[in-house]
């Protein structure tokens, strides 16, 4: 991740500012931002064939705007071409790019032989820019998990440049209801009630009835849902609706974000997917969250942290777009673990109290142990406690341990402690102590870095730079919070 300072003046993107405060809708902001993108392209020295496509805008209280753009070259999407422009008082003050590579002069003429079902793109993700084919293969794996396999192939040489699955899967099995008796917002339609939340973007819950597809919206005659066990299919619907509501509330109340895409639109949740399916997953393509029923179709994966983890993949996609491979994939997974945990704390549910354990309620391995541990990730037998040069070669669910460990240390510090009845003992790579700054500050720093500093190609070293910049923005470069971020990264061997 590269960050530079610019001394260029341009018009303030007033519609984007209004959208960030909720005065204008996202479409109006995008239209205005698109209208100014040419000015920004010129200011950044982009070539004539390059165009910026607005994706997101974050507005600070002091009027600073962080404008996130994707890039095209002669109409072709540039993979790894995204950037974030910082603007204050009509002046461009900085830019963070996924790549500094120059696109000018690249031949984007379509090859003589087209690849069936493929899209021509410019590939510049950790690679010198080349013309490439992107294919997306939709399938269903043996364990019933859908697959959206993206493969990028050099259009000239046929070399495979990158391949990753864009279905973000939580590993797990579950047990029925986790959150006890809860209040739900529903929608009345005639004499029936729908499991659709009008207060949170009409996010709804559908019943797949152990099939696939879209399913049917849950309805009920008396607005009393489920019985707390798998024998009533509405029970999993209650948990899914509650988890979605708590995730919405967390992002809204803590980060000022209105829904996953920050546009006030709620996502669809679907329960009872497949047969004995022991997983849950988020898919951008349907803007939906899907839960299996687990072993014997009796153990749905509908705990709060699983719901927030999966839907946070959608937030990452709408902001930094961290590619789900290598170190950026580990940061993508860690972001979901981090916000899965912080959402659970924010929910304040006594039946599922907040902790730094991931999937502790769903008993994924049948031994009562969590899926992942943030204080010492290696306790699961596979996750990384510390960064090394081989971290990018590890499965993203396990390389995520580095950032999970960082976040725990930043929040709570090292050593032994008990929080909400859970005992933790977090080590450091250098055996030196870390003093935490509290979860409330740590989560703000990570969210700001995600939404204003990280790009699709961000790796651990760049994540350190981005979170330090976020801490400086929020608390000052000479603050104890800034120093704590620096120390916590050093404690997990990212320097």
Pick the catalytic residue from 310, 344, 360, 412: 310
Q: Across-strand partners of 288? A: 268, 283
Q: Is 159 an active-site residue? A: no
Q: What is the 3-state secondary structure (H, E, C) of the chain?
A: CEEECCCEECCCCHHHHHHHCCCCCHHHHHHHHHHHHHHHHHHCCCCCCEEEEEEEEEECCCCCEEEEEEEEECCEEEECCCEEEEEECCEEEEEEECCCCCCCCCCCCCCCCCCCCCEEEEECCCCCCEEEEEEEEEEECCCCCEEEEEEEEECCCCCEEEEEECCEEEECCCCCCCCCCCCCCCEEECCEEECEECCCCCEEEEEEEEECCCCEECEECCCCCCCCCCCCCHHHHHHHHHHHHHHHHHHHHHHCCCCCCCCCCCCEEEEEECCCCCEEEEECCCCEEEEECCHHHCCCCCCHHHHHHHHHHHHHHHCCCCCCCHHHHHHHHHHHHHHHHHHHHHHCCHHHCCCCEECCCCCCCCCCCCCEECCCHHHHCCCCCCCCCCHHHCCHHHHCHHHHHHHHHHHHCCEEEEECCEEEEECCCCCCCCCCCCHHHHHHHHHHHHHHCCCCCCCHHHHHHHHHHHHHHHHCCCCHHHHHHHHHHHHCCCC
Using an 8 Å Cβ cutoff, are 98 and 1 in contact? yes
Q: Is 412 an active-site residue? A: no
Tell me how far apart the alpha carbons of residues 94 and 73 are, in angstroms, rounded to a whole number.
Answer: 22
Q: Map tokens 């070399």 to a residue.
A: 159
Alpha-carbon distances, residue 19 vs 24, 38, 313 (angstroms):
4, 20, 23
Using an 8 Å Cβ cutoff, are 122 and 106 in contact? yes
Pick the catalytic residue from 397, 405, 412, 443: 397
Catalytic residues: 310, 397
């Amino acid at each position: 991740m590269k960050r530079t300072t610019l001394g260029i003046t341009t018009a303030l993107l007033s519609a984007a500012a209004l959208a960030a405060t909720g005065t204008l809708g996202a479409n109006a902001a995008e239209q205005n931002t698109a209208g100014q993108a040419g000015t920004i392209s010129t200011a950044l020295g982009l070539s004539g064939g390059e165009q910026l496509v607005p994706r997101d805008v974050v507005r600070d209280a002091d009027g600073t705007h962080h404008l996130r753009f994707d890039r095209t070259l002669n109409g072709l999407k540039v993979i790894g071409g995204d950037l974030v422009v910082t603007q204050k008082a009509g002046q461009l003050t900085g830019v963070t790019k996924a790549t500094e590579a120059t696109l000018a002069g690249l031949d984007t003429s379509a090859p003589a032989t087209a690849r069936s079902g493929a899209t021509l793109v410019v590939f510049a993700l950790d690679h010198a820019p080349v013309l490439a084919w992107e294919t997306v293969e939709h399938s269903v794996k043996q364990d019933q998990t859908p697959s959206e396999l993206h493969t990028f192939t050099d259009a000239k040489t046929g070399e495979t440049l990158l391949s990753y699955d864009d279905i973000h899967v939580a590993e797990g099995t579950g047990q029925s209801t986790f959150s006890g008796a809860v209040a739900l917002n529903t929608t009345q339609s005639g004499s029936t009630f729908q499991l659709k939340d009008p207060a949170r973007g009409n996010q709804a819950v559908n019943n797949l009835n152990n099939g696939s597809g879209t399913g049917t919206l849950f309805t009920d005659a008396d607005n009393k849902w489920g019985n707390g066990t798998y024998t009533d299919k509405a029970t999993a619907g209650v948990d899914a609706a509650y988890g979605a509501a708590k995730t919405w509330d967390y992002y809204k109340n803590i980060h000022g974000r209105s829904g996953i895409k920050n546009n006030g639109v709620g996502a669809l949740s679907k329960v009872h997917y497949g047969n004995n399916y022991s997983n849950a997953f988020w898919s951008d393509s349907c803007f939906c969250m899907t839960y299996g029923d687990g072993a014997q179709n009796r153990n749905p994966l509908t705990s709060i942290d699983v719901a927030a983890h999966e839907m946070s993949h959608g937030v990452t996609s709408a902001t930094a777009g961290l590619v789900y491979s290598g170190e950026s994939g580990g940061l993508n997974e860690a972001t979901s673990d981090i916000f899965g945990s912080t959402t659970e704390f924010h929910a304040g549910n006594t039946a599922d109290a907040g902790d730094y354990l991931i999937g502790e309620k769903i008993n994924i391995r049948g031994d009562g142990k969590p899926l992942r541990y943030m204080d010492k990730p290696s306790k699961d037998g596979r996750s990384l406690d510390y960064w090394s040069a081989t971290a990018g070669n590890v499965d993203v669910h396990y390389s995520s341990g580095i950032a999970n460990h960082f976040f725990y240390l930043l929040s709570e510090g090292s050593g032994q402690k008990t929080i909400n009845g859970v005992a933790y003992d977090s080590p450091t790579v250098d055996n030196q102590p870390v003093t935490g700054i509290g979860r409330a500050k740590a989560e703000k720093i990570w969210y700001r870095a995600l939404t204003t500093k990280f790009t699709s190609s961000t790796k651990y070293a760049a994540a350190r730079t981005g979170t330090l910049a976020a801490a400086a923005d929020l608390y000052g470069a000479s603050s104890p919070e800034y120093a704590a971020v620096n120390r916590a990264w050093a404690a997990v061997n990212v320097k």
